[in-house]
């Protein structure tokens, strides 16, 4: 928990002290849904189905968006093809399956188009007004404004039907984004449904935050940033450390690799690195699996302790030993290693989502609380005999399910099966 809180606190400090950059404004049919169904929470969030998901492919494709309401559009300053509201500057307006709008909103859209702005219309143009008062007159006004706009400015409108399935929402989004011709925040060579990004800025810096939400796969891509005269640095939200990011020729053209569940806070600054940063995208030169007898001890959350000896590491949930299959708490794995190689990393292999801490010769090397459990050990592993200890913290799902009482049954109802747990390995020494 403390690691997670520190990580979030540092990111929050950075985001709160910088300005979000959102180039796309999305207006959903909130008024239509409220008018049809009242202030029911579920239809507000779930209709149309694509609405609450559209931000995802926009982010994944290197753009940025924000959901706004009609009041924002009416009160915004509109000129030069931009909608300016406070510090936000929107260059593209998306009308997401709207049927009804205020006449003032229609006038604002008219002004935006006249200034050079482009509008994505999903399904159809709104042709009705809101409220009962003067509804016939206002319906006519909205319909005339929107139809005249489309007739006189066909190139300002990009008309698409809503996606038939959420499975192809990225392809669908890419189609209208490319037709809009607005520039992305970052050009990503290999967009993935599992990699998101946001863009922030200050007077002196450009900030990009990437995150790979996949639990098992590494994401690799080239990123071309519209940043000139600045140099990339990694601000590590886990440690608070800052270091320069490797680039080959141009400081705004980078190769990025994100391990499972890894994030990257990339900050472009004026300061040029004194030395050329190292390339951290490297290949494994050699690896050796650690074999032998593991001494394993478990301290369960109810205070009971267990000891086992294992020639092969296993997923505890698949064990016939109920003490293992229902275990919840802390497990210690210890083995003696005779090192005669030149290794600089230790890979714990499959850790089944557990939190691990590595100790070599009783010295704590570090902790991995997400993603791959790979540790740098170059300055810690000595030649000859070494004591390796891995402290492992499990989730409590299997233990809670084993209690079989109403409260824990309710807590674990989303687990169809017992959860994989324990250090499964293989544990390998690596040389990069």
Which residue did the predictor score with more confidence, 278 or 73? 73
Q: What is the mean pLDDT of residues 57-62?
A: 98
Q: Give the pLDDT confidence score for residue 285 in this predicted structure.
A: 84
Q: CA of 398: how far to CAs of 31, 182, 216, 299, 324, in Å? A: 45, 50, 22, 15, 10
Q: Mind listing the pLDDT tens digit for each residue in 203-248?
A: 999 999 999 999 889 999 999 999 999 999 999 999 999 999 999 9
Q: What is the 3-state secondary structure (H, E, C) of 44-96?
A: HHHCCCCHHHCHHHHHHCCCCEEECCHHHHHHCEEECCEEEECCEEECEEEEE
Give all domains of the chain, ordered by start, each with its CATH number: 22-180 (3.40.50), 187-269 (2.60.40.1180), 286-431 (2.60.120.260)
Question: What is the rounded distance in angstroms from the CA atom of residue 99 to the CA atom of residue 139?
Answer: 11
**C-alpha dihedral sign at 38, 43, 44, 50:** negative
Could you give the CA distance from residue 157 to residue 117 in angstroms, rounded to a whole number?
Answer: 9
Give the count of beta carbons closer than 10 Å to the beta carbon of residue 208.
24
For range 157-163, the mean pLDDT: 96
- Residue 423: HSE in the Cβ half-sphere, 13 Å Cα cutoff: 32
Q: What is the layout of strands, in order, in the sheet containing 253-258?
A: 187-188, 219-224, 253-258
pLDDT per residue over 81-118, tens digit each?
999 999 999 999 999 999 999 999 999 999 999 999 99
pLDDT band at 74 (very low <50, low <70, confident <90, very high): very high
Task: Report how many helices (DSSP H) and strands (DSSP E) the chain contains, helices first.
Answer: 11, 27
Count the neighbouring beta carbons within 10 Å of the beta carbon of residue 174.
16
Q: Poorest-confidence range of 66-70, 188-192, 272-276?
A: 272-276
Strands 206-212 and 242-244: unpaired
The tokens of 109 are what? Answer: 């859209």
pLDDT for 132 beyond 60: yes
Q: What is the reported pLDDT for 45?
A: 64
Would you tell me how many other CB atoms lie within 10 Å of the CB of residue 142?
25
Whole-number pLDDT of residue 70: 95
What is the token pair recorded at 327?
């275990």
The pLDDT value given to residue 245: 95
Cβ pair 268, 230 in contact under 8 A? yes
Q: For residue range 312-324, list pLDDT tens digits in order.
A: 999 999 999 999 9
User: What's residue 430's pLDDT?
Assistant: 93
Give me the pLDDT at residue 42, please.
66
pLDDT of 41: 66
Give the chain's mean pLDDT. 94
196 or 415, higher pLDDT: 196
Cα–Cα distances in angstroms (integers) from residue 87 to residues 17, 82, 277, in the given order: 13, 12, 35
Tens of pLDDT along 416-431?
888 999 999 999 999 9
């Amino acid at each position: 928990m403390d690691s997670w809180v520190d990580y979030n606190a540092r990111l929050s400090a950075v985001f709160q002290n910088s300005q979000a950059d959102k180039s796309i404004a999305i207006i959903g049919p909130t008024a239509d849904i409220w008018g049809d169904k009242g202030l029911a929470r579920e239809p507000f969030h779930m209709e149309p189905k694509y609405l609450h998901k559209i931000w995802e492919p926009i982010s994944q494709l290197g753009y940025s968006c924000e959901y706004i309401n009609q009041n924002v559009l009416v009160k915004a300053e509109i000129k030069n093809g931009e909608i300016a509201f406070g510090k936000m500057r929107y260059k593209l307006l998306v009308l997401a399956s709207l049927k009804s709008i205020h006449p003032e909103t229609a006038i604002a859209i008219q002004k935006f188009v006249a200034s050079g702005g482009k509008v994505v219309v999903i399904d159809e143009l709104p042709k009705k007004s809101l409220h009962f008062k003067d509804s016939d007159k206002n319906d006519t006004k909205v319909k005339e404004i929107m139809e005249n706009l489309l007739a006189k400015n066909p190139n300002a409108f990009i008309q698409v039907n809503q996606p038939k399935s959420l499975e192809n929402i990225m392809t669908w989004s890419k189609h209208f984004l490319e037709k809009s011709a607005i520039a992305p925040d970052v050009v990503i060579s290999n967009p993935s449904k599992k990699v998101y990004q946001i863009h922030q800025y200050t007077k002196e810096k450009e900030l990009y935050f990437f995150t790979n939400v996949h639990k098992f796969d590494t994401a690799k891509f080239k990123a071309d940033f519209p940043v000139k005269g600045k140099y990339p640095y990694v601000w590590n939200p886990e440690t608070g450390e800052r270091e320069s990011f490797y680039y080959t020729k141009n400081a705004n053209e980078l190769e990025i690799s994100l391990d499972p569940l890894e994030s990257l806070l990339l900050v472009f600054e004026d300061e040029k690195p004194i030395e050329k940063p190292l390339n951290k995208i490297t290949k494994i030169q050699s690896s050796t699996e650690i074999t032998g007898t593991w001494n394993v001890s478990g301290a369960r959350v109810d205070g009971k302790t267990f000891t086992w000896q294992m020639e092969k590491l296993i997923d505890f949930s698949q064990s016939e030993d109920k003490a293992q299959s229902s275990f919840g708490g802390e497990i210690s794995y210890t083995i003696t290693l005779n090192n005669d190689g030149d290794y600089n990393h230790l890979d714990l292999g499959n850790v089944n989502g557990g939190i691990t801490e590595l100790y070599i010769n009783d010295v704590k090397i570090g902790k991995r609380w997400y993603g791959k459990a790979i540790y740098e050990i170059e300055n810690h592993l000595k030649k000859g005999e070494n004591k390796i200890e891995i402290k492992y913290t499990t989730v409590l799902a299997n233990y809670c399910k084993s209690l079989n009482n109403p409260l824990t049954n309710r807590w674990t109802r989303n687990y169809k099966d017992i959860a994989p747990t324990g250090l499964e390995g293989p544990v390998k020494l690596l040389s990069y």
